[in-house]
Structure 1
Amino acid sequence: MKDMIILSSLALMITGCASVNSGLTTFNEGMASLNKTLASGLPANQRRVGSFITQDQEFKIKSNLAVKTDDNSINQAIAEASSVIESFAKAESCINNHLDSSLELYTAPGGKMNTSYAPMMPMRYHDKTKCVSVAKIQGWFMPARNALQFEIVYVSENSGEVQKRGHEVVKQPNGEWLFTPQI
């Protein structure tokens, strides 16, 4: 009888260990996915599980910002603001939910970005696990010496859907260019 109790206890322990082992395996797989995300090199506010910007998509943003206009003032403003515009476009192209706050990092004091208008949100047929691409950055206009307006044209590579977003960056007193809410 005592041997039976010991064998039963041993069987329960082995079953329990197998269950714990299975749980730990699942946990480790989840942590491996998180580590891959963290190692992606993107700032913390741009990291998304399941939604990663590709090198080709990054290249398209950079090449659009390298285009020159006929207006030297606009070219100078683009050159000064290009790093924040690039970071913003990367973040905006990957927003796949209404709760994302990644754009707040690039917003001027007192402003708040509404991610309900993120380009991916109205794209009914786009695979939301993938970022949309920047097809064009165009329509550069300076309503003031410290303000630059433009639009970004986003396209879904898999569905072909297109969305345009108007934006404005304003040069802050410290020289930093920041986004005002969508125009």
Structure 2
Amino acid sequence: MDKFETLTGIAAPMDMINIDTDMIIPKQFLKTIKRSGLGVNLFDEMRYDDDGREIPDFVLNKPQYRDAEILVAGDNFGCGSSREHAPWAIKDFGIRCVIAPSFADIFYSNCFKNGILPIALPQEQVDVLMKDAEKGANARMTIDLEGQTVTTSDGESFGFEVDSFKKHCLLNGLDDIALTLEKGKAIDRFEESAAQSRPWV
């Protein structure tokens, strides 16, 4: 998993509440267990028409937001089913941070496991960031995970809370497998000791 330390990038405004995981990645794209290749279908039903053509008015189809790395959204982001494909699609598109007033719990946890930083901020602060994102590609936000701040293109800064363990994992690029491998030597010692003391197992 890639480390997340600081990020300065384009923020796409998506001023909608209750964006659920089926909107993020519709059910017909859940057949794969690969984490790559889903970005093209992110927000598929809002992004494309019935003939597969891009809908020009959808935010991520607009030229100024095609390279967005930050998404500013409405309340209750990631609600609905617990599909891990949702953060996979977001990450594969290139978005590393989602900012909203609140998140569904399972989606929130899945983000950290996939190298995405979800930031919950009060509605009034999200409103400021939404307006900043609406300025387009020339307005770049900065996310500082170590300092736990979000800074607008105009220099206005907001602090955010994040669990210390989740922060440690993101800063060091540690997913669940990497965390286990950190204990590899201790696991090997235990296995050797167990084999000697219980050879019948």
TM-score under structure 2 length normalisation: 0.27
Structure with bigger gyration radius: 1
Higher helix share: 1
TM-score under structure 1 length normalisation: 0.28
Tell which has more relative contact order, 1 or 2 (C-alpha 8 A, sep 6+).
2
